[in-house]
């Protein structure tokens, strides 16, 4: 197995080989996956069906829900199936697909979180210009740019990675096909291009992070000038969860992709991977819906009204 042209499958080591722990992993991931699935589908349905939520903020939130659904669905089900069936195998083509789709959604996730920070900046710091700046055409263009950046970044990384020669076996010490773990399998004289692409992508992520921090500095400066305590509370409740989710995603992702792989244990790699690939899709619905009065009101209108009607019938 000295060259990627004869590589037909990889082994995803991931979690424990103890059967009881494999079942526990399956159950835990199943609960997390179903929670993320239900939460993001509900957000998508509510924003789509409720005309009062057809605003830029909820339009971007709907896109974020689609991204969360995709990013967690491309990694977690395969890991659950492997644990349930006591296998480690993933085909070469499935690994390529998983790799491409995950990077696509991860890049689009960062792009949309950055756009949402800009949306909040305009809404709070320049409210009189909000409708002009965040008009329908501008929102569609920003969303299209976010998706295009995801596709482009994923194509570059996938092309670079799977053009490499894998001469160090086929064992991936992770529960999905992740860049750092695949680079461990590449020949030392052939992975420099993918390493450079990874560093470039991480620099772009940090640029987005800096942009968001600057946006929130302006937002918080404006919020502190609001004389009404209720107004300050509303602004903080909208912005702080968004900043928390993004910070978790960017910090754990940067740690996973920039650290020297040989200096960390596989357990730490697994924990970090779960934090940036599983936790954000689970937390976004909770943060953006359970603490959002408009979303909760729309949910009650859809499901509460339906339940009440069925009880009368």
pLDDT for the residue numbered 148 = 95
| Domains of the chain listed by start with CATH number | 11-312 (1.20.1070.10)
Q: What is the pLDDT at residue 264?
A: 52
Q: What is the pLDDT along the chain (313 residues), one digit of tens a residue?
A: 444 446 788 988 877 778 888 899 899 999 999 999 998 998 888 888 888 888 898 899 999 999 999 999 999 999 999 988 888 899 999 999 999 999 999 999 999 989 988 998 998 888 889 999 999 999 999 999 999 999 999 998 898 888 888 887 888 888 999 888 888 888 765 566 767 777 778 788 888 888 988 988 888 888 777 776 666 666 666 677 777 777 777 788 777 777 766 545 577 888 888 888 898 888 888 877 666 677 777 777 777 655 444 443 4
pLDDT of residue 252: 80
Q: Which of 186, 159, 160 is closest to 172 using CA atoms?
A: 186
- Dihedral angle of Cα 138, 143, 146, 148, to the nearest 10 degrees: -100
């Amino acid at each position: 197995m000295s060259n990627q042209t004869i590589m037909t499958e990889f082994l995803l080591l991931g979690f424990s080989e103890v059967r009881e722990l494999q079942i526990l992993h399956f159950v835990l991931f199943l609960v997390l996956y179903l929670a993320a699935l239900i939460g993001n589908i509900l957000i998508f349905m509510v924003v789509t069906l409720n005309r009062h939520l057809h605003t830029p903020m909820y339009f971007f939130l709907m896109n974020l829900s689609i991204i969360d659904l995709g990013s967690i669905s491309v990694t977690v089900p395969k890991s659950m199936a492997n644990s349930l069936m006591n296998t480690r195998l993933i085909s070469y083509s499935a690994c390529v697909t998983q790799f491409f789709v995950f990077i696509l959604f991860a890049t689009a996730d960062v792009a949309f979180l950055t756009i949402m920070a800009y949306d909040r900046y305009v809404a709070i710091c320049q409210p009189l210009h909000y409708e002009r700046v965040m008009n329908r055409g501008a929102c569609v263009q920003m969303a299209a740019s976010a998706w295009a950046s995801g596709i482009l970044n994923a194509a570059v990384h996938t092309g670079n990675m799977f053009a490499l020669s894998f001469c160090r076996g086929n064992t991936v010490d992770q529960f999905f096909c992740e860049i750092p773990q695949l680079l461990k399998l590449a020949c030392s004289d052939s992975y420099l291009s993918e390493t450079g692409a990874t560093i470039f992508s991480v620099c772009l992520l940090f640029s987005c992070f800096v942009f968001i921090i600057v946006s929130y500095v302006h937002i918080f400066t404006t919020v502190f000038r609001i004389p009404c305590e209720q107004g300050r509370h509303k602004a903080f409740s909208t912005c702080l969860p968004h900043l928390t989710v993004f910070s978790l995603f960017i910090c754990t992702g940067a740690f996973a992709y920039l650290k020297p792989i040989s200096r960390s244990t596989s357990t730490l790699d697994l924990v970090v991977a779960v934090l940036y690939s599983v936790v954000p899709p689970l937390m976004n619905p909770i943060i953006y819906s359970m603490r959002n009065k408009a979303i909760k009101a729309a949910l009650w209108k859809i499901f509460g009204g339906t339940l009440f009607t069925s009880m009368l019938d």
